[in-house]
Amino acid sequence: MKITATELSKLLNGTIEGNPDVTVNRPSKIEEGGEGTITFLANPKYSEYAYTTTASILLVAKDFEATKPVAPTLIRVENVYESLAFLLNKFGAAQGQKAKGVIDETASIDVEATISEGVSVGKFSIIEKGSIVGESTIIYPQVHIAENVIIGKNCKIYPGVKIYHGCEIGDNCILHANVVIGADGFGFAPKEDGTFEKISQIGNVVIESNVEIGSNTTIDRGSIGSTTIKKGVKIDNLVQIAHNVSIGENTVIASQAGIAGSTKIGKNCMIGGQVGFAGHLTIADGSKFQAQSGIGSNIKEANKAWFGSPAIDYKDFIKSYGVFKRLPEIYRKFGRMEKRIDKSD
């Protein structure tokens, strides 16, 4: 996509400083730049790159004050991150798209499956009996959709995704490569002889609309009933969500987090990387968890931040860590004091 500064400014409702006719055709990192690219400055940590970047256009906040000459044309906007997201969607729209309504001859679609208008199905994908795929959904190569799956409209199902029988996907969802939806939950009953007997997992997974799930994430089916992912949830790569978990609306979960069975996460929560939740917990709306935190009990108060394992109030953890890291020094001081006391006896 080739676009001028003037056209970009209109799209973003911004103001231009510099050459309004300069054109760009791709985004770049501010530290890398390159002629014909647009970059952005949102984090003050990168401010120095504003004066060295070779990008043609630099997106900045309206209150940005340059302390040196800036070579790129500036476009000032109210919110840099929102404008950037909008632009990346524009640039990305032309990349990796499949023609609508094209079903590859190598795809296997059961005669009792329902394929709506405008659906694309890639090479060697399989759609089994009783499944329904909504309008304009794109199914990339080597996807397996088992029996009686429901997929909404305008979804993107990337290569290698596996959706087990009876699961439901809402509208406008994105499932990245190798996501597994609806595998058996980890349910085993101990026996007297020390072995384990598998407990049948007869529920499903229900994913509501506008959900995005990162590569290699797994969401297990309910043992009875559903594992539910509410609308607007965003899940990173390599996340494990166990059977009968419920994730509330617009919650975001970073990579390598794990949520044990039957835990209920509230809406608008923010979960950092490698956070672990024990099973059968209830987590209040708006909770925030720093990376690598471990949560072993219910969180009842909404909109609080937590850190540590077991997790405690974020501010308390930071204060406690300030003491903890000084323990070796404190220990040495006590040792010296003990020696002086012994000598004085």
Contacts of 89 (CB under 8 A, 6+ apart): none
Which two three-digit tokens encode residue 167?
A: 């699961």
Phi, psi of 324 (to 5 degrees): -55, -45
Is 243 catalytic? The answer is yes
Residue 274 to residue 46: CA distance in whole angstroms: 27
Could you tell me whether strands 73-77 and 15-17 are parallel, antiparallel, or unpaired per DSSP bridges?
A: antiparallel
Range list of H helices, the chain: 5-12, 80-92, 314-324, 327-344
Given a contact cutoff of 8 angstroms between Cβ atoms, the answer to whether 34 and 55 are in contact is yes
Which two three-digit tokens encode residue 134?
A: 């909504």
Catalytic residue among 144, 176, 243, 280: 243
Identify the three-state secondary structure at position 139: strand
Contacts of 225 (CB under 8 A, 6+ apart): 203, 244
Of 216, 130, 142, 125, the C-alpha closest to 167 is 130
Can you name the residues that pair with 38 across neighbouring β-strands? 27, 57
Contacts of 149 (CB under 8 A, 6+ apart): 128, 131, 132, 163, 164, 165, 166, 167, 168, 169
The one-letter amino acid code at 159 reads P
Q: Which residues are marked as active site?
A: 243
